[in-house]
């Protein structure tokens, strides 16, 4: 299970481009999600179904690292929401963990609007000129598809692709 949680957290941090300092929130979110989904070891049931005899509400699940707008009421002429980053779910409280980048602090709020169609800091996955960038490591592409489209040269019984 440790490996599963680590792989899920690494994937979440990699896809969002969030710094490594948010590893604990990514692990907690991965743990929360693993417990929400059905498991083959318990006949494709969820832990909530077994322990609490209730169905799991999947409507509360949101994309990790997406921009959120926590609604605030600081006065008539002040902004009604602050832009934050979604970091997960809070235990024993009905609310979401949010990171306020302006104040550099973690906050918990129930009244949140999610923008799940965008990610704040996506990392580039491709680089040009026959190089592919995966997790910040640049690799050279050995074979191009265009080379396979060329007509092969035939010599006797052998076919040579150049």
Q: Which of 64, 69, 66, 59 is nearest to 107 (CA)?
A: 69
The whole domain housing 140 covers 131-160
Cβ contacts of 131 within 8 Å, gap of 6 or more: 138, 139, 140, 141
Give tens-digit pLDDT for 123-156: 554 444 444 445 555 444 444 444 444 544 444 4
Tell me, what DSSP letter sits at residue 83?
E
Q: Which of 21, 38, 36 is nearest to 87 (CA)?
A: 21
Neighbours of 35 (CB within 10 A): 12
When divided into structural domains, the chain yields a total of 1
Enter the pTM of the model. 0.66
Give tens-digit pLDDT for 89-126: 988 888 899 999 998 999 999 889 898 887 665 555 44
């Amino acid at each position: 299970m440790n490996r599963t949680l680590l792989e899920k957290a690494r994937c979440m941090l990699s896809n969002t481009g969030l710094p490594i300092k948010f590893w604990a929130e990514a692990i907690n979110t991965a743990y929360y999600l693993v417990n929400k989904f059905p498991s083959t070891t318990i006949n494709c049931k969820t832990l909530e179904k077994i322990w609490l005899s209730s169905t799991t509400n999947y409507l509360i699940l949101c994309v990790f690292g997406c921009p959120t707008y926590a609604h605030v009421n600081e006065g008539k002429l002040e902004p009604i929401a602050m832009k934050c980053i979604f970091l997960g779910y809070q235990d024993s409280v009905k609310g979401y963990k949010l990171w306020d980048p302006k104040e550099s602090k973690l906050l918990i709020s129930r009244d949140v609007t999610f923008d799940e169609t965008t990610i704040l800091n996506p990392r580039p996955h491709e680089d040009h000129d026959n190089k592919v960038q995966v997790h910040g490591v640049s690799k050279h592409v050995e074979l191009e598809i265009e080379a396979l489209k060329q007509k092969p040269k035939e010599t006797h019984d052998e076919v040579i692709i150049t």
